Amino acid sequence: MTRIDNKPSGRGDAVTVRGLVKHYGETKALDGVDLDVREGTVMGVLGPNGAGKTTIVRILSTLLAPDSGRATVAGYDVVRQPRQLRRVIGLTGQYASVDEKISGRENLYLIGRLLDLSRRDARARADELLERFSLTEAAKRPAGTYSGGMRRRLDLAASMIGRPEVLFLDEPTTGLDPRTRNEVWDEVKTMVGDGVTVLLTTQYMEEAEQLASELTVVDRGKVIANGGIEELKARVGGRTLRVRPADPLELHPLAGMLDDLGITGLATTTVDSEAGSLLVPILSDEQLTAVVGAVTARGITISSITTELPSLDEVFLSLTGHRASAPQDPEPADTRQEVAV
């Protein structure tokens, strides 16, 4: 009953976060985070290790109580209505949280029973999801024998058992090889096609671009940018042109010259002194041509010129003028420390 009363009718925000603060001892993991995810969309939360991404997910899935601030998921308050909330969410952690000692099928059956499905329904749902996530052949083997990708798929299947309204994916592909990562992306896209609202955390711009329609960039517990993915891409430059002059002394003059010409994208040109190159956000092929033309006209020798999708680091450079606060770490072994700190 109350659910209907409390829940905003029609398509609204599936997740609302206001002024969320969380400390771990002296460390401020979240420092006033605001976030809205509209129903049926995929929100990407992008940030480096230690930015607070996992803390957000843990609070939204009721695993952690916030120090202050408010958060609701599907209309339920994370602090006051945890039980109702748990009924409508699915959670896939950085760590594939499946039971390694029992089989894939038993894992799914167990979750089904814990979600109050009858024995028969739990069995049917388990088989259906095993089929859908291409795990039928491995269904009877202990999950501990699965490959990384299979385990991640089983984890996704487990979070889909209760047909959740909101799905939290905490770094779903961290530690996976590129091929497996693509597999997981395909599965997530299928799930999104079913109309599930997804909040996804990631360290990879590419992943955000593949899966998310909107993006929130977090750093040191704060939101530093948010908006549609196209909008943000435009802000950081749809692509980044990396120009490396043969003589590093030319870096700053070159940057000044390009700024004066005003042919770069919405963000300004930045100098990456460490790499001895210039990052020029560009929006179009015309701008690319113009940059090359201007450089040639000035007679500056270039040792390399490449275009790339902005990496997380470049997004940070463009948005904040500084690099991501912690080095990107592709090792999954370290990711849990974000929680432990």
Partner 1 sequence: MSSVTPLTADARIPLRGHLRHTGALIRRNLLWIRQDPESMFDALLMPVVFTLLFVYVFGGSIGQALGGGQDGYVQYVIPGMLAMTSMTLSQGVGTGFNQDFNSGVMDRFRALPIGRGSVLFAKIAVELVRMLFATTVLMIVAVAVGFRITDWPGLFATVGLSAAFASAIMWVFITLGVVMKNAQSVQAMGFLVLFPLQFGSSIFAPTDSMPSWLRTFTDYNPLSSLADAARGLMVGGPVAHDLWVTLAWSVLITAVMAPVAIHKFRTKS
Binding interface with partner 1 (CB under 8 A): 1-3, 58, 61-65, 79-84, 86-87, 89, 91, 93, 95-102, 106, 110-111, 113-116, 142, 158, 339
**H-only helix segments in 35-163:** 53-60, 82-87, 104-114, 119-132, 148-160
Identity of the residue, 123 or 242, whose beta carbon is nearer to partner 1 in the bound complex: 123
Cα 94 to Cα 172: distance, rounded to the nearest angstrom: 6
Phi, psi of 189 (to 5 degrees): -60, -40
**CB 259 → partner 1: shortest distance, Å?**
47
Identity of the residue, 46 or 111, whose beta carbon is nearer to partner 1 in the bound complex: 111
Q: How far is CA 174 from CA 153, 171, 188, 269, 331, in A?
A: 13, 6, 14, 30, 8
Beta carbons of 198 and 190 less than 8 angstroms apart: no
Cα 67 to Cα 142: distance, rounded to the nearest angstrom: 39
**CB 78 → partner 1: shortest distance, Å?**
9
Identify the CA nearest to 79 among candidates 94, 100, 65, 61.
65
> How many CB atoms sit inside 10 A of residue 139's CB?
17
Identity of the residue, 45 or 117, whose beta carbon is nearer to partner 1 in the bound complex: 117
Beta carbons of 229 and 208 less than 8 angstroms apart: yes
Cα 318 to Cα 236: distance, rounded to the nearest angstrom: 6
**CB 15 → partner 1: shortest distance, Å?**
15
Identity of the residue, 49 or 318, whose beta carbon is nearer to partner 1 in the bound complex: 49
Identity of the residue, 102 or 288, whose beta carbon is nearer to partner 1 in the bound complex: 102
**CB 182 → partner 1: shortest distance, Å?**
24
Identity of the residue, 87 or 244, whose beta carbon is nearer to partner 1 in the bound complex: 87
Cα 308 to Cα 244: distance, rounded to the nearest angstrom: 14
Token digits for 333?
A: 């072994």
Identity of the residue, 173 or 226, whose beta carbon is nearer to partner 1 in the bound complex: 173
Residue 212: partners with Cβ closer than 8 Å, 6 or more residues away? 42, 43, 44, 200, 229
3-state secondary structure (DSSP) of residue 284 = coil
**CB 274 → partner 1: shortest distance, Å?**
36
Q: How far is CA 216 from CA 90, 135, 229, 291, in A?
A: 20, 33, 9, 30
**CB 2 → partner 1: shortest distance, Å?**
4
**CB 296 → partner 1: shortest distance, Å?**
55
**CB 124 → partner 1: shortest distance, Å?**
16
Beta carbons of 307 and 239 less than 8 angstroms apart: yes
Identity of the residue, 53 or 233, whose beta carbon is nearer to partner 1 in the bound complex: 53
**CB 214 → partner 1: shortest distance, Å?**
24
Identity of the residue, 80 or 163, whose beta carbon is nearer to partner 1 in the bound complex: 80
